[in-house]
Amino acid sequence: MGTWNEWFDALRPHLREEEALRVQTLDRGPYVPPAPLTREALAGLMDHTLLTPEATPAAVETLCQQARSWNTHSVCVNTQYVPLAVDALQGSSVVVAAVVGFPLGAMASAAKAFEAEWAVKAGARELDMVMAIGWLKAGRYPEVLADVRAVRAAAPPPVILKVILETDLLTDDEKGLAALLAVAAGADFVKTSTGFGYGGATVPDVQLLRGVVGRSIGVKASGGIKSYQDAVALVRAGANRLGLSKTGVVLGKGDGDAGSY
């Protein structure tokens, strides 16, 4: 596996000056996970998620009711359900997040940007976009950058932008390169996985990503989190956001799950 400096050197010719500076000034000091990791504390790190194709409006309403009751950070839904979720969560502190270019990341960048802009206008305050994974694996870094830039431009801060890397499809070097590309193009978080059939978050992957982005950028672990022990291990490894549908089980609230994410 290469080093941080080797990954940056490989990408430097493709970065704008401000992007290179963003990467170079990352705070890569030791990351200290939050403590204590009670179930209540974990809830505040959770994106309670429902992204299955068969999800109904009633199921999304239930998701929002659960998130409000359990005090999760957000709900994460497909863009068609953003208006419904915004209405259902009026008066609560729960944020609405939406996925963009999900789950493949192979859409045209203009399509991703349109979806992102639409979601924000509808009330989403966080976006989880899927990176152009094929371009990354082909070493086409300018296209990967342009893709994330397009979504960032369509949804500028204070909207939180998370970039899904689909780590299970990547080598460790590709994970490092992907994380730096996402940061350079303006991501607030790097995220492990879609949770759609390619594996999910692992402690080694979260540790690797946290080591790459340091303390300046968020790391979201998603996919396959099915127990309180899973959640705690990932947070201790460096995740400061968790994406899951088994939220009820993890929080000890019974079997009120939103799906298999």
| Catalytic positions, written as ranges | 128, 191, 220
Alpha helices in the chain (DSSP H): 4-11, 17-24, 39-43, 57-70, 82-88, 109-122, 133-137, 141-154, 172-184, 203-213, 228-237, 247-250
CA dihedral 241, 246, 249, 251 (to 10 degrees): 20
State phi, psi for 128 to the nearest 5 degrees: -115, 100
| Residue 71 zone, left/alpha/beta (φ > 0; ψ -120 to 50; rest) | left
Stretch (H or E) spanning 217: none
Stretch (H or E) spanning 42: helix 39-43
